């Protein structure tokens, strides 16, 4: 990170006592120059937020412990949360995770795409131990997004990237969201417009007796079960296997009330389908559209600094992931 005094995108929430170590966040375009710059910053141990089809990720060289530590610092993330390692393709994934027939089936069906596989960690890996937070497993993802792929190829190594938001806050689906939360805490953001899926990847654990759903996300569970030919086990909520499942993990600053038919006095209302609101996740009742607009609408309503009431969302397909996020947003804290 560059040592500078004057910065662009200064975030007033961050203490001025850190002025000498605050980097100036570069706003990179997703062209060949921007991608080369992003790769150079990553090679130098920098932090670069980059788009994936799910959400923006806060990337660092997964082999560089200092760089990875920078991710936790920038996010203010509890250090026991392991990070997803992004790789170019399944062949690269095999360098880090112990492969199995089920890994092969899911990788062939859904990579590149919004799926993360948790596999036993290979003993001969060269990842920073901070990436896995000391676990003997590793979360691996091959993103489909053209810019994520271009950066992975230009960088030529594994990129650790959690969602590019301060810990416990709403995930970023635009470069503007990234800067709103992390400006001057990271070296650069690579802007390629809004994310198309708009929900984090679905996480499947293949390090248990049965394939296990660790986090619902952008890839419907039904599609995964169809590919595997068996039902997924559901992670035991009492035992935090994926810390992303923590209650109140996706919390807006405002209080959130679910399954509301209409707004009470003083509330802003997030509608769905025929139930109107200040904003509507999908006037036509389309769950894919609702997923793509979820974080955007939560950010926008949160900015109004009033309690948020949310219309009922059908609990199937992507609706399950949306409801999972909304329950966390509404959890007591
Ligand atoms: O779509 C996504 O998945 C985005 C984009 C940037 O790829 N990334 C993302 O990362 O959502 P993050 O760090 O916000 O969430 C990663 C989740 C966390 O809940 C973490 O605990 C879990 O993955 N995880 C990582 N490694 C794990 C492991 N070895 N075992 C179990 N869970 C793991
Ligand atoms: Mg996250």
Whether the predicted pLDDT of 282 surpasses 70 = yes
Q: DSSP readout, 294-331?
A: HHHHHHHHHTTTS-EEE-----STHHHHHHHHHHHHHS
Largest CA distance in the chain: 59
Whether the predicted pLDDT of 331 surpasses 50 = yes
Q: Which of 14-23, 77-86, 113-122, 313-322 has the lowest mean pLDDT?
A: 14-23
pLDDT reported for residue 101: 97
Angle at 101 between CA 99 and CA 105, to 5 degrees: 105
Probe ligand 1: pick from 50, 57, 114, 116, max atoms within 8 Å of CB? 116
165: closest CA among 28, 301, 81, 71? Answer: 71
Element (H, E) at 120: strand 115-120
Q: How many Å apart are CA 315 and CA 185, to the nearest integer?
A: 37
More confident residue, 291 or 316: 316
pLDDT digits 0-9 by tens, 89-115: 999 999 999 999 999 999 999 999 999
Cβ of 201 below 6 Å from ligand 1 = yes
Q: What is the Cα 8 distance to its own chain's centre?
A: 25
Strand partners, 213: 204, 234
More confident residue, 233 or 291: 233
Tell me the CA distances in angstroms from 215 to 40, 236, 258, 265, 316, one per residue in order. Answer: 32, 11, 20, 34, 15
pLDDT reported for residue 312: 98
pLDDT digits 0-9 by tens, 172-199: 999 999 999 999 999 999 999 999 999 9
Ligand nearest to the CA of 139: 1
Tell me the CA distances in angstroms from 262 to 249, 281, 283, 313, 330, one per residue in order. Answer: 25, 15, 15, 13, 16
Nearest protein Cα to ligand 1, atom 22: 242
Backbone angles phi, psi at 202, to 5 degrees: -75, 135
pLDDT reported for residue 251: 67
pLDDT reported for residue 130: 79
Cβ of 207 below 6 Å from ligand 1 = no
Angle at 279 between CA 275 and CA 285, to 5 degrees: 45
First vs last C-alpha separation in the chain:
34
pLDDT reported for residue 22: 52
Strand partners, 175: none
163, 200 Cβ separation under 8 angstroms: yes
Q: How many Å apart are CA 106 and CA 100, to the nearest integer?
A: 10
Nearest protein Cα to ligand 1, atom 32: 242
Cβ of 163 below 6 Å from ligand 1 = yes
pLDDT reported for residue 293: 80
Give me the percent of the chain exceeding a pLDDT of 70: 87
82: closest CA among 130, 22, 33, 150? Answer: 130
Nearest protein Cα to ligand 1, atom 31: 242
Cβ of 51 below 6 Å from ligand 1 = no
Q: DSSP readout, 66-94?
A: HHHHHHHHHHT--TT---EEE-SSHHHHT
Tell me the CA distances in angstroms from 185 to 27, 58, 202, 319, one per residue in order. Answer: 13, 11, 27, 33
Q: How many Å apart are CA 243 and CA 238, to the nearest integer?
A: 11
Give me the percent of the chain exceeding a pLDDT of 90: 67
Q: How many Å apart are CA 53 and CA 38, to the nearest integer?
A: 18
Q: Which of 159-168, 279-288, 324-333 has the lowest mean pLDDT?
A: 324-333
Q: Does domain 256-330 have CATH number 3.40.50.11030?
A: yes
**How much is the average pLDDT of 197-202?**
95
Cβ of 242 below 6 Å from ligand 1 = yes
Q: Which of 36-45, 200-209, 287-296 has the lowest mean pLDDT?
A: 287-296
Q: pTM for this one?
A: 0.81
Cα 178 to averaged position of ligand 1 atoms, centre (Å): 17
Element (H, E) at 26: strand 26-29
For the chain, the domains span: 2-234, 256-330
Identify the three-state secondary structure at position 306. Answer: coil
**How much is the average pLDDT of 273-283?**
96
DSSP conformation class of 101:
H
Count CA atoms within 13 Å of residue 85 on its CB side: 33
Cβ neighbourhood burial of 188 (10 Å; 0-12, 13-18, 19+): buried
Cβ of 244 below 6 Å from ligand 1 = yes
pLDDT digits 0-9 by tens, 207-247: 988 999 999 999 999 999 999 999 999 886 544 444 444 44
Q: How many Å apart are CA 46 and CA 181, to the nearest integer?
A: 17
* CATH code of domain 2-234: 3.90.870.10
Cβ neighbourhood burial of 179 (10 Å; 0-12, 13-18, 19+): buried
Pairing of strands 212-215, 159-160: unpaired
Whether the predicted pLDDT of 12 surpasses 60 = no
Cα 150 to averaged position of ligand 2 atoms, centre (Å): 22
**How much is the average pLDDT of 299-322?**
90
Neighbours of ion ligand 2 (CB under 5 A): 163
256-330 and 2-234 share a CATH fold: no
**How much is the average pLDDT of 56-60?**
98
pLDDT band for 23, please (50, 70, 90 cuts): low
**How much is the average pLDDT of 15-21?**
39
pLDDT reported for residue 16: 35
pLDDT digits 0-9 by tens, 109-151: 999 999 999 999 999 999 988 788 778 899 999 999 999 999 9
**How much is the average pLDDT of 42-59?**
97
pLDDT reported for residue 78: 55
């Amino acid at each position: 990170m560059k040592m500078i005094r004057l910065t662009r995108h200064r975030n007033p929430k961050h203490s001025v006592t850190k002025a000498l170590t605050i980097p100036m966040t570069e706003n990179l375009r997703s062209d060949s120059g921007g991608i080369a710059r992003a790769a150079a910053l990553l090679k130098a141990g920098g932090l670069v937020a980059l788009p994936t089809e799910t959400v923006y990720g806060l990337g660092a060289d997964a082999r560089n412990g200092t760089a990875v530590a920078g991710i936790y610092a920038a996010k203010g993330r509890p250090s026991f949360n392991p990070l997803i390692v992004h790789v170019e393709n399944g062949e690269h994934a095999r360098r880090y995770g112990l492969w199995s027939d089920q890994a092969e089936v899911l990788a062939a069906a859904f990579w590149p795409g919004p799926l993360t596989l948790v596999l036993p960690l290979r003993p001969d890996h060269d990842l920073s131990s901070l990436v896995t937070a000391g676990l003997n497993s590793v979360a691996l993802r091959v993103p489909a997004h053209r810019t994520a792929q271009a950066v992975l190829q230009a960088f030529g190594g594994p990129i650790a990237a959690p969602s590019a938001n301060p810990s416990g806050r709403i995930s970023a689906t635009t470069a503007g969201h990234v800067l709103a939360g992390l400006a001057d805490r990271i070296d650069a953001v690579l802007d390629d417009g809004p994310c198309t899926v708009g929900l984090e990847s679905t996480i499947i654990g293949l390090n248990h007796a049965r394939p296990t759903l660790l986090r619902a996300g952008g890839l419907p569970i039904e599609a995964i079960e169809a590919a595997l030919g068996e039902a997924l086990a559901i992670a035991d909520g009492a035992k935090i296997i994926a810390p992303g499942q923590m209650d109140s993990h996706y919390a807006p600053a405002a209080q959130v009330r679910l399954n509301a038919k209409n707004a009470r006095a003083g509330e802003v209302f997030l509608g769905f389908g025929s139930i109107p609101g200040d904003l509507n996740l999908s006037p036509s009742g389309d769950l894919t559209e609702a997923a793509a607009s979820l974080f955007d609408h939560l950010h926008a309503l949160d900015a109004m600094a009033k309690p948020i009431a949310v219309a009922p969302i059908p609990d199937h397909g992507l609706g399950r992931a949306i409801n999972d996020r909304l329950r966390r947003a509404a959890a007591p804290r």
